[in-house]
């Protein structure tokens, strides 16, 4: 319960709010660790994989450069090889190259059935 003096003082209210709702350093560390340990699953699209990592990166406070490296590290081998050959350097380039590799290798799922496309 908030004390009346905290409610009436804007600075105190902001401080209380940040203390109560801001992510702790422990949570940030845990999310960053999960992000670096996360590998793309068989049957998981590039889009799904990158979205999961972006959520972790946001919670951990990780910048786009580190997110890009984490995506590169976690891509499935056959997609990673194509991405490396494309010389992608930004997150957008990495995602684009991985999506092209996904289509090229036929390694994508049909969203309607959850099965491999012919």
Which own/partner contact pairs does 87-90 have at CB distance under 8 Å and 24+ positions apart? 90/64
Token readout for 39 is 């590998």
| Angle (deg, nearest 10), helices 91-104 and 46-60 | 160
Tens digits of per-residue pLDDT, 5-56? Answer: 666 777 776 776 666 666 667 777 888 889 899 999 988 999 999 999 999 9
Q: What percent of the chain has pLDDT over 90?
A: 42
Indicate left, alpha or beta for 36 from its phi (over 0: left) and psi (-120 to 50: alpha).
alpha
**Over 60: is that where the pLDDT of 109 sits?**
no
Query: pTM for the full model?
Result: 0.69
């Amino acid at each position: 319960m908030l004390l009346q003096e905290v409610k009436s003082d804007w600075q105190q209210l902001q401080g209380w709010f940040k203390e109560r709702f801001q992510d702790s350093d422990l949570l940030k560390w845990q999310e960053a660790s999960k992000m670096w340990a996360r590998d793309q699953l068989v049957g998981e699209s590039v889009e799904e994989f990158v979205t999961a990592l972006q959520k972790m990166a946001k919670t951990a406070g990780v910048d786009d450069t580190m997110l890009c490296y984490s995506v590169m590290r976690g891509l499935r081998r056959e997609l990673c090889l194509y991405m490396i050959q494309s010389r992608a350097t930004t997150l957008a380039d990495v995602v684009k190259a991985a999506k092209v590799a996904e289509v090229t290798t036929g390694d994508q799922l049909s969203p309607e059935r959850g099965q491999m496309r012919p």
